[in-house]
Structures are given as structure tokens and as C-alpha cells.
Amino acid sequence: MSKERLLLDFDNCIVQSSKAYVDTYNYLYQNHPDFKLSDWTKSSKWDFSDICPLASNPEEIFAHPYFFKVLEFYDRDMKEVLKELTSKYQIIIVSIGTARNVALKSLWIDDNLPFIDDVILIKNKGCKMNKSLIDMSKGYFFDDVLSNLESSNARFKFIFGEEYEWNIESEYPRVRSSLDMLRVLL
């Protein structure tokens, strides 16, 4: 018997990319004369331009090795929840990024989630948010980006995490944590 498909976004779903981005920004720009320490919880923009004014190209930070060094799971239960869900679901990580970002992302997934076999990393110049080329018609899809949910053909769609400028107007059920996701799926 085949398992149902569970498709998960990587950034700000499995991992806390917002925190890693701002930690990387603070690390890279700490010696700049105009630097002011940034707090990731104070941003509402996907590119952090509201709190990281010295970064001219967000994609460089998302693809910096330091970003992946400080990257943490979204919450303390995420890894164990994913491990538990592998007994019932075929977990597929689906993520978009630049060539360097997806290469480093792949290594991070191999090192931290060795029990997940299926990963689809989309190299997309300019990081246009659209995962419609992936057939999700028979699965559950969790993502923090509203446009990814809207463009997918997933059977069940959930907006993941806290409310931000890019996902506040969601008609999809909101799941705020790994334990919430576990409750929905089991």
C-alpha cells in the first residue's frame, strides 16, 4: 500500500529561515559604519528590507554558507514530528532558490533530515514564487507563501507559520507549528 503524499516547503516551514537570514545579515555587516543590529521578529517583509537596509541583494544572504551554519528547525519539535510522519506519509520537500542556495539547502537536508528521501529543489532565477510545475494533486501541501499555495494543485493546502505581509490574506487553514501540523495530519 502506498503512502499519502505530504509536500512541505523548506524555508519558514521546516526551518526558521527568517532568523537565519537576520543572523547572517548581522554577522556580515556588523563592522559596517552604518550597521544597526537587526531583530528578525521585527520584520514583515520577505526580503527584510525593513530591518536589513545594508543588504542590497537578499539572494546573496540566502545563499551564504553562514546562513546554513546558523539555520535551525522551525521549532523544537519539527525534526521528531517529521520523523513520526514518515510512518504514514511520503514526505517530499519542495523548495525554490538560486543555484547556490539549493545546492547548500540540499547538503543541509542530507545532514539534518537523513530519513527524508524525496526532495525537489527548483532553481529559479530571481526566485519567482511558483511551484505549479510539481504535481501535488494527491497530496497535502504546507507552505508559508500564499502564491505557492494558490499556484499548486494540491488536494489539501495549509498556510504554515505566523502571519506576514506575504501570507496574511490567506483563505487556507493556518498551521502555526509542527505540533499543529501533526494534529491536522494524524
The type of residue at 9 is: D
156-183 per-position pLDDT tens digit: 999 999 887 767 777 899 999 999 999 9
The region, left, alpha or beta by phi > 0 then psi within -120 to 50, assigned to residue 161 is: left
Q: Is 78 found in the same domain as 66?
A: no
State the Rg of the chain over Cα.
Answer: 16
Q: Is 100 found in the same domain as 66?
A: no
Q: Is 22 found in the same domain as 11?
A: no
User: Which position has the higher pLDDT, 94 or 166?
Assistant: 94
Q: Is the pLDDT of residue 63 over 70?
A: yes
pLDDT (average), residues 53-61: 92
Check residue 2 and give its pLDDT: 86
Q: Is the pLDDT of residue 71 over 80?
A: yes
From first CA to last CA, the distance across the chain in angstroms is: 18
Check residue 128 and give its pLDDT: 57
Check residue 129 and give its pLDDT: 63
What residues have CB less than 8 Å from 154, skipping those under 6 apart? 7, 136, 137, 139, 140, 141
Check residue 41 and give its pLDDT: 87
The rounded percent of the chain whose pLDDT value lies above 90 is: 75
Q: Is 57 found in the same domain as 149?
A: no
102-153 per-position pLDDT tens digit: 999 999 999 999 999 999 999 876 555 678 889 999 999 999 988 899 999 9
**Maximum separation of any 2 CA atoms in the chain, in Å:** 61
Give exposure, 101-140, as e/b (b: 16+ Cβ within 10 Å).
bbebbeebbeeebeebeebebeebeebebebeebebeebb
State the CATH number of the domain containing residue 102.
3.40.50.1000
Q: Is 161 found in the same domain as 82?
A: yes
Q: Is 52 found in the same domain as 144?
A: no
Q: Is 60 found in the same domain as 10?
A: no
Q: Is the pLDDT of residue 34 over 60?
A: yes
Q: Is 81 found in the same domain as 32?
A: no
Q: Which of 49, 70, 91 is the last residue of a domain?
A: 70
Q: Is 116 found in the same domain as 129?
A: yes
Residue 58 burial by CB count (10 A; 0-12/13-18/19+): exposed, middle or buried?
Answer: middle
Q: Is 158 found in the same domain as 172?
A: yes
Taking the C-alpha atoms of residue 138 and residue 89, their distance in angstroms, rounded to an integer, is 12
For the chain, give the mean pLDDT. 92
Provide the domain limits for residue 64. Answer: 17-70
Structurally, the chain folds into a number of domains equal to 2
pLDDT (average), residues 48-67: 93
Q: Is 143 found in the same domain as 93?
A: yes
